[in-house]
Structure formats: structure tokens, C-alpha cells
Structure 1
Amino acid sequence: MLPRLLLAHRLLAGAAAPLPRRRTAAAMSAAAPGTRLLRGVVFDMDGTLTVPVIDFPAMYREVLGGDEAYAAARAAGGGSVDILHCIEGWAPDEQRRAYEVIARFEQDGLDCLQIMPGASELCGFLDAKQIRRGLITRNVKTAVDLFHQRFGMMFSPALSREFRPYKPDPAPLLHICSTWNIPPNEVVMVGDSLKDDVVCGKRAGAFTCLLDETGRYGPHDSLPEDVRPDFKVSSLSEVFSVLEEHFDLAPVVSESRI
């Protein structure tokens, strides 16, 4: 474990040998298909592999102390709230209360946990192609364990928020890549959040795929360059086409490629 963590640290610090530069989304669309190796896919959980059920605005309001505090946090965060970051500097008693509120909302979500349409089929497709599957979530390990047990699909590694630092820091994705012995530019990060999933993937040097079921983020080309994913889909079913059209789906080899 220690050598892997040291490797992830070297990658974060830029000490590792430079990896091939990734194409931008626009350049990729013009490139010949099958020219990019893919050996691993890392998924977000809530809202990606599972149907979103947590009322996050209500949770944020209760944690922060009402509408006014929530509005201030949104303004400070450019329209979004990173609740875990918000409470990091609080006093221990305040943090304890905040985590109790978060745990209650998350437990309510677990009680009605549902698999996202297309998730099982996509995982079966990756398994058939011998493509590794990992998971990174800001939810707790209990939620990950329940997900594995309830739906019978395993992701390894599966990192919860007990792994620090968590998304959007690239550390968890780099840790998974080092565990797999696969460089980040042969991995795709799939998630429903620009600020967490896409930013994590881009900072790590992986390809990124945004799941936007409702179109809340608008057209792909309208997204700011610093958070623009390589791909944008409206369902997990569309990920099949993205992978087959834009990547050489090569099985994992035993030797290290980092």
C-alpha cells in the first residue's frame, strides 16, 4: 500500500515521467476511432450508478443553519456548495452535528436506493471486454457496501469519503490508477458532477464523461474549458457508444504501464 501511495504522491507532484498529452473533446471527434487505449473506467456512485434520491439543498440548509447561510455558501462557491469542504474548519462539536445531519439524509437515501438504468448492462459490457471498474464517491463506506450487496456488482477499488483527500482532488483517482498499474490517460472517469467528477478526472489526466440526464448543464460546447468533459451523455446507455467509437478497448495486461 505504501509504495502505491508514494506513487500517487509522485504523480500529484509531477515527479513521474510525463504522460502522453490528451486530446481536447473537439480534437477527439476528428481523430480516427480506436486510437486511444482504454483499460479502466471509474464511476461516481450517487446520481451515476444509482438514481439520485437525496435532497441535497434541504441537507445543505439544515447543516448550514437555514436559507440565508445556504445562499451565502452558494454565492461563495460560484453557485454550488461543497458541504464537506464547508465544515472542515468547524469546531469538533459543530462538525459532529453536521455529520449527523448528513448521515441522516444519506440513510434516507439508502432506504430507497435504486440502480441507474443501464448500469448493470454497462458493467457486463466492461467485464466482457476485461476493462477494470472502479468507484469513487463522497458518500460513506456503508453506502458503498450496501450498493455492492444489493445490486451484486463489485467495483475495485471502491473509495468512499473515508479516503482523503476526496473529489475533486485527483488523489483518489490516481490511487486507483496506481493500484491497477494503469496510467490515467488509459482511464475514463464517469460522473454526474462537473465540479467533483469531471474536475477530479481532468486534474488526474484521465478522460472524462459527464452524465447529464436532465440537461441541467446545457450544451457541451457551452461549458467552461476548465470543466468541459471530453464526452457528455444523457444516459449510461450512451456510454457504450462513446467507448466503442472513441477507444481501443484493450484488456488489462499484467505488467505495469506507469
Structure 2
Amino acid sequence: MHPILKDIRLISFDLDGTLIDSVPDLAAAVDASLGELGLPVAGEARVRDWVGNGSWTLVERALTFAQGHLPGEEALARSHEAFLRRYGRDPGSRTRLYPGVRETLDALQAGDWILTLVTNKPYAFIEPILAQFGLERHFALCLGGDSLPQKKPDPAPLLHVAAHFDLPPSTCLMVGDSRHDIAAGRAAGFRTLAVPYGYNHGEPVQDSRPDGLVVSLAELV
């Protein structure tokens, strides 16, 4: 057992960039949505630097790139709806689990830890993706970016999780790949653990000063 798990009773995982590499599917939906508007496509490499703040912000960044300026609210809303339709048709065919994720979740589930999922991805996409990998029963609670009025880096989703299980935040761990995960965890009073392989807008996640860093989640168990 990794030392960071000492006295921890609940573990909250981020999804995109922590458990799964979803960028290929996200990029396909972004580019299809831009193509519908006759705009230049973004490509997977750019999208990889844009994810992590929810679908609305992802689409806003894509439109800003393609148009060269910030989109108006009405145009952004239409494009966001188009993106959600595109992504909803195929949210997981190109998505992959990172190495060691399945084995780690299996081992943690078999232990005494409560596992939860706190992501900024819209809630509707969580279950289909988890089901694709047979992981839908590993998590006692899942929150999406639209489950509450606030999303990470606001601490509200993590505080909601701790309160739901009647646990003090000091007994909870947030595991993620970005500064938003670490900021949310710290503000909620959670212990924080980072992985360096995900999506952090091109910045080293260790710059956010998490309580711990693992190259692979397999190091937890």
C-alpha cells in the first residue's frame, strides 16, 4: 500500500487524463462540430491541451482557435449542443484506459476504500464510458461537471462527496492529473495525489504541489 493511503477511507478519482485517455474521441467530436460550421479543424494535439475544464470551455477554446476571436454566447451555445450530439454518438470507441488502472481499481475496490469519481465531463457520458470498460460498479458515487452548480477547481463537488459518506475531508484523497484537481482537493481539505501523464495544459502537474505523485496508479497498491 502506498504511504499516501494511510488513514484514507475514501478516494475520489478524476476521469479524463487520470483513468482514461479520451482525447481521440473528444477531438473527433470537436473537429466534426467545427467542420459543420465550415471552420478549420483543431486536431488531436491542440484538443489535448484544451480539455479538463468541462465541455463548454472545450468548445469555447475550439471556436476561439478556429475563428480567431472569442465566440458570442449564442454561437457558443449552438456549437456546444452540436459537440454534445457528436460526442454522444460515440464517446468511447477510441478511448483507452491508462496502464495499471483496471488492476488498481480492482485492488482498491477489494480493500476497505470507498471509490468515487469526480469529473468535469458531463454526467451523461460517465456511465457509457465506464460500462465500456466494465468499471461501472467500482464507484460508489459519480459526479459530473453538471451534477452541481460548481465544478473543479471549486471544492464543492469534493465536499459533497465527503458529506455524502459522512466522512471528514481529512480522510479523503483526490487523485487527478491537473492543477484543477489539486486545487479542488486542497481547498476541500482532501489529501492530493497527481499523475503526470494526463492533461494539464502543457504544465507539469507537480508545479501544483500535490501531496504525492505517482508515475502509474499501480503504485498505489
Fold in common (TM above 0.5)? yes
Rounded to whole Å, the distance in 2 between the matches of 1:35 and 1:146 is 29
Q: After superposition, where does 1:1-258 map in structure 2 within 5 Å?
A: 36-54=6-24, 59=30, 62=34, 82=53, 84=56, 91-92=73-74, 94-105=76-87, 107-153=89-135, 154=137, 155-163=139-147, 164-194=149-179, 196-213=180-197, 217-218=203-204, 220=206, 223=207, 227-240=208-221
CA deviations on 1:149-168 (whole Å, 9 max, x unpaired) are: 22222212101122121111
State the identity as a percent.
29
For the residue of structure 2 that corresponds to 1:42, the secondary structure is strand
- Is contact 2:174-2:193 (8 Å) kept? yes
Describe the shift of the 1:180–1:142 C-alpha distance in structure 2 as closer, same or farther (beyond 3 A).
same
Closer/same/farther in 2, CA of residues 113 and 80 from structure 1, 3 Å limit:
closer
Deviates more, 1:132-141 or 1:104-113: 104-113
Against the structure 1 CA distance between its residues 80 and 93, is the aligned structure 2 distance closer, same or farther, given a 3 Å change threshold?
A: closer
Letter in 2 for 1:147: I
Q: How many residues align?
A: 189
Higher radius of gyration, 1 or 2: 1
Q: Does the CA contact (< 8 Å) of 2:194 and 2:205 recur in 1?
A: no
3-state DSSP class of the match of 1:111?
Answer: coil
Task: Please give the per-residue CA displacement for 1:26-52, whole angstroms capped at 9, x wherever unaligned.
Answer: xxxxxxx68941001000111211124
Contact 1:201 1:207 in 2 (8 A): yes
Provide the C-alpha distance between the structure 1 equivalents of 2:153 and 2:5, rounded to a whole number of angstroms: 28
Q: d(CA) in 1 for partners of 2:16 and 2:39? A: 24
SS at match of 2:120: coil
- The secondary structure found in structure 2 opposite 1:177 is helix
Q: Structure 1's 92 and 114: CA in aligned 2 closer, same or farther, altered over 3 A?
A: same
1:106–1:53: structure 2 CA closer, same or farther, 3 Å change rule?
farther
1:188 match: secondary structure: strand
SS of residue matched to 2:175: strand
CA distance in 1, matches of 2:142, 2:4: 28
Q: TM-score, normalised by structure 1?
A: 0.61
- For the structure 1 residues 209 and 107, does the alpha-carbon distance in structure 2 shift closer, same or farther, using more than 3 Å as the test? farther
Is 1:54–1:106's contact at 8 Å kept on the other side of the alignment? no
Range moving further from structure 2, 97-106 or 158-167: 97-106
SS in structure 2 of the partner of residue 200 of structure 1: helix
Q: Distance in 2 between matches of 1:139 and 1:219?
A: 20
Alignment match, 2:66: none
- Greater alpha carbon shift after TM alignment, 202-211 vs 117-126: 117-126
- CA positional deviation for 1:117: 1.8
Question: TM-score w.r.t. structure 2 length?
Answer: 0.70
Check whether the contact 1:168–1:197 (CA below 8 A) recurs between aligned residues.
yes
User: Does the 8 Å contact 1:110/1:143 carry over to 2?
Assistant: no
Aligned partners of 1:159 and 1:172 also within 8 Å: yes
Contact 1:212 1:234 in 2 (8 A): yes
Quickly say closer, same or farther: Cα 1:40–1:84, change in 2 above 3 A.
same
RMSD: 3.4
- Uncovered stretches (5+) of structure 2, i.e. residues with no partner: 41-48, 61-70
